[in-house]
Amino acid sequence: MTGLQDRLTPAQVEEFGRELDALRQRVVDDLGQADVDYIHTVIKTQRGLEVAGRALMFAGFFPPAWLAGVTALSLAKILDNMEIGHNVMHGQYDWTRDPALSSQRFEWDIVAPAENWRHSHNYMHHTYTNILDKDRDVGYGILRMDPAQKWHPYYLGNPVYAFLLAFMFEYGVMLHDLEFDRILKGERKWSDNTEILRKMAKKVSRQVGKDYVLFPLLTGPMAPLTFAGNLTANVVRNVWAFSIIFCGHFPGDVESFTEEETAEETRGQWYLRQILGSANITGGPLFHIMSGNLSHQIEHHLFPDIPARRYPEIAPEVRAICEKYGLPYNTGPLHKQLWSVAKKIVKLALPQTSAPRVTVEPDRSLRAA
Partner 1 sequence: MTALLPRRVRRLASLAEALLTPHGMDRYLELVDPMLVRREIRGLVTAVRRQTADSVTFTVRPSRAWPGFTAGQYVRVQVEIDGVRRTRCYSPCGSQYDGELEFTAKDLGLVSGHLNRELGVGAVLGLSIPDGTFTLPTPRPDRVLLISGGSGVTPVLAMARTLVAEGHPGEIVFLHYSNGPADALYRTELAQLSARHPGLRIVHAYTHAKTGGDLHGFCSEDHLAKAAPWYRDAEAFVCGPQPLMDSVRALLGEHVHTEEFTAPALTFDTEHAEGQVRFARSGRECANSGKSLLEQAEEAGLSPEHGCRMGICFSCTQLKTAGRVRNAKTGEISGEENEEIQLCISVPVGDVEIHA
Binding region for partner 1 (CB under 8 A):
25, 28-29, 31-37, 43-44, 47-48, 51, 91, 94-98, 100, 102-104, 107-109, 122-123, 203, 206-207, 209-210, 214-215, 218, 305
Angle at 84 between CA 30 and CA 162, to 5 degrees: 125
Q: What minimum distance in Å lies between the beta carbon of 32 and partner 1?
A: 4
Q: What minimum distance in Å lies between the beta carbon of 131 and partner 1?
A: 20
Q: What minimum distance in Å lies between the beta carbon of 48 and partner 1?
A: 8
What is the maximal distance between C-alpha atoms in the chain?
74
* Closer to partner 1 by Cβ: residue 105 or 343: 105
* Closer to partner 1 by Cβ: residue 101 or 145: 101
* Closer to partner 1 by Cβ: residue 44 or 185: 44
* Alpha helices per DSSP H over 303-352: 311-324, 334-347
Q: What minimum distance in Å lies between the beta carbon of 315 and partner 1?
A: 23
Q: What minimum distance in Å lies between the beta carbon of 137 and partner 1?
A: 19
Q: Tell me the residue type at 178.
A: L
* Closer to partner 1 by Cβ: residue 19 or 146: 19
Per the CB < 8 A criterion, the answer to whether 193 and 178 are in contact is: yes
Q: What minimum distance in Å lies between the beta carbon of 310 and partner 1?
A: 13
Per the CB < 8 A criterion, the answer to whether 325 and 333 are in contact is: no
* Closer to partner 1 by Cβ: residue 36 or 132: 36
At residue 257, φ and ψ (nearest 5 deg) are -135, 165
Radius of gyration of the chain (CA): 21
331: helix, strand or coil: strand
Report the C-alpha gap between 197 and 178 in whole angstroms: 8
Exposure string (b/e) for 203-231, b if CB count within 10 Å is 16 or more?
bbeebeeebbeebbeebeebbebbbbbbe
Burial of 109 (0-12, 13-18, 19+ CB in 10 A): buried
Per the CB < 8 A criterion, the answer to whether 134 and 181 are in contact is: no
Angle at 311 between CA 305 and CA 314, to 5 degrees: 115
* Closer to partner 1 by Cβ: residue 155 or 271: 271
Q: What minimum distance in Å lies between the beta carbon of 146 and partner 1?
A: 28
Per the CB < 8 A criterion, the answer to whether 275 and 290 are in contact is: no
Q: What minimum distance in Å lies between the beta carbon of 54 and partner 1?
A: 8
* Closer to partner 1 by Cβ: residue 51 or 346: 51
* Closer to partner 1 by Cβ: residue 164 or 218: 218
